Structure 1
Amino acid sequence: MIKLTPRQEQILNLIKEAIDNTGFPPTRAEIAQELGFKSANAAEEHLQALARKGAIEISPGTSRGIRLVGQKDAAANEPAMQMPPPSNFMSLPLVGRVAAGSPILATEHVEATFSVDPAMFSAKPDYLLKVRGWSMRDVGINDGDLLAVKKIDSAKNGQIVVARINDDVTVKRYRKTGATIELLPENPDFKVITVDPEADDFALEGLAVGLMRSWVN
């Protein structure tokens, strides 16, 4: 059993809550702000300590490159047969480019169907969306990745969503203040999208609940 200090347990719980609420881990800056650290460097020191103790894994080069390893470590102690039987898998349609004005799961948008283990994701997804572009690069969502999406009609601030604005479908972080809805990129090269409730046709198409690195070109 991993022995953690009270502060390390606090940070580990914060990471777990962020993943449960948004599907993705927090940044160092978010950890520092939440716990009252003076800088992100203090958060980094605690994260490195957690990594040394085997509670998390850190991927260099991304602001949210933090992964919990408790489930993986537990699996390592199981018998050699790791792959669940096919009956435990679920079929998910892969949505590619979405035509303007048509439902995201319209037949013409489905490029393929994948059998996946639902345990890979924070919640049961309804479809996979092929990511286009680099606006979410700093959260580890890259061009060509397959985003696991659960259909929703509302979202909490900070969650990563698939949203439709007029004729476009986009992946962004959701923020609503009063009547104002903003869609935030995770790449400083991209601008925040502010939804005009009077002029824009806006709808939430789903919530990001996990990610698969694409092997599909």
Structure 2
Amino acid sequence: MLKLTARQEQILRLIRDAIEKTGFPPTRAEIAKELGFRSANAAEEHLQALARKGAIEIFPGTSRGIRLRDSFASRSHSHAHTLLKDNPDAHPIMHPGAMQMTLPLVGRVAAGSPILAQEHIDAQYTVDPTLFKSRPDYLLKVRGMSMRDAGIMDGDLLAVKKADSAKNGQIVVARLGDEVTVKRYQRSGSLIELLPENPDFEPIRVEAGRDEFALEGLAVGLLRSWN
């Protein structure tokens, strides 16, 4: 194992902190801003060096495609944005020797019914559980681009762990009346804000205990598919 420089150790800590706080690694732009780099290219150079030294894996095609190698993920389980084919039955996402895990894919959710009701399940995906920060319970197909700047795109499959509470800054799946939405969670007193990651969308504000609101789960990973 190659020794890391002080700057590389700093970036590795930043990645761990972001995963611990939000469940997602930082973007290059976020790393650059945090460490005072002039551009995201400088952050990319350091990430490539960390990848060459075996500290991280980089997955192309997404701004948050960073996974901590197991030996460097000391404060949290490793996490990845994983890229996969559209056909879930044809290509299971597995590492050699890993235990298989099958997750239901939830499509559109009918008003007033449980998110994991059988009629909502579109498919089953077999994946490697070590890809995720925490063990997910299901995959949810993302609709729309409100979380674009968090690297979550329309059509992505969000890995979700069932939960009825969240910390500020975490990305959550929430139910608002008849709608299920993916947003960043922020609470101050009784006011809950569901924050988009796209300036074209407005925050959603709800009063805890007053509005028809419920947390369905926490985002713990992302699968991106394409034809």
- Give the TM-score taking structure 2 as reference length: 0.77
Whether 1:160 aligns to 2:159 is: no
Identity of aligned residues (%): 64
| Matched residue type, 1:50 | L
Q: Secondary structure at the match of 2:38?
A: helix
Change (3 A) 1:2 1:192: farther
Equivalents in 2 of 1:4, 1:132: separation in Å?
40
1:190, CA displacement in angstroms? Answer: 1.0
2:123 to 112, 136, 150: 112
Equivalents in 1 of 2:29, 2:225: separation in Å?
29
Whether 1:48 aligns to 2:61 is: no
Which residue is 2:181 aligned to? 170
Count of residue pairs brought into register by the alignment = 203
Range that drifts further, 192-201 or 168-177: 192-201
Equivalents in 2 of 1:68, 1:90: separation in Å?
19
Change (3 A) 1:33 1:179: farther
Whether 1:8 aligns to 2:8 is: yes
Equivalents in 2 of 1:56, 1:47: separation in Å?
12
- Specify which structure has the higher proportion of helix: 1
Which residue is 1:20 aligned to? 20
| Matched residue type, 2:2 | I
Alpha carbons 1:2, 1:53 under 8 Å: kept: no
Change (3 A) 1:82 1:169: closer
Equivalents in 2 of 1:43, 1:145: separation in Å?
24
| Matched residue type, 1:70 | R
1:166-205 matches, within 5 Å, as 166-197=177-208, 199-205=210-216
1:116-127 matches, within 5 Å, as 116-127=127-138
CA deviation profile, 1:136-192 (whole Å, cap 9, x unmatched): 111221111111100011111111110011111000111112221111111111111
1:30, CA displacement in angstroms? Answer: 4.6
CA deviation profile, 1:54-87 (whole Å, cap 9, x unmatched): 244667886x4351353599xxxxxxx95336xx
**Structure 2, unaligned runs of 5 or more:** 73-93
Which residue is 1:89 aligned to? 100
Alpha carbons 1:157, 1:176 under 8 Å: kept: yes
Alpha carbons 2:32, 2:43 under 8 Å: kept: no
Equivalents in 2 of 1:50, 1:205: separation in Å?
34
1:200, CA displacement in angstroms? Answer: 1.6
CA deviation profile, 1:12-50 (whole Å, cap 9, x unmatched): 111122113322112456546655x3xx52675245223
Provide the aligned C-alpha RMSD in A. Answer: 2.9
Alpha carbons 1:56, 1:66 under 8 Å: kept: no
Alpha carbons 2:190, 2:207 under 8 Å: kept: no
Equivalents in 2 of 1:114, 1:94: separation in Å?
7
- Give the TM-score taking structure 1 as reference length: 0.80
| Matched residue type, 2:67 | L
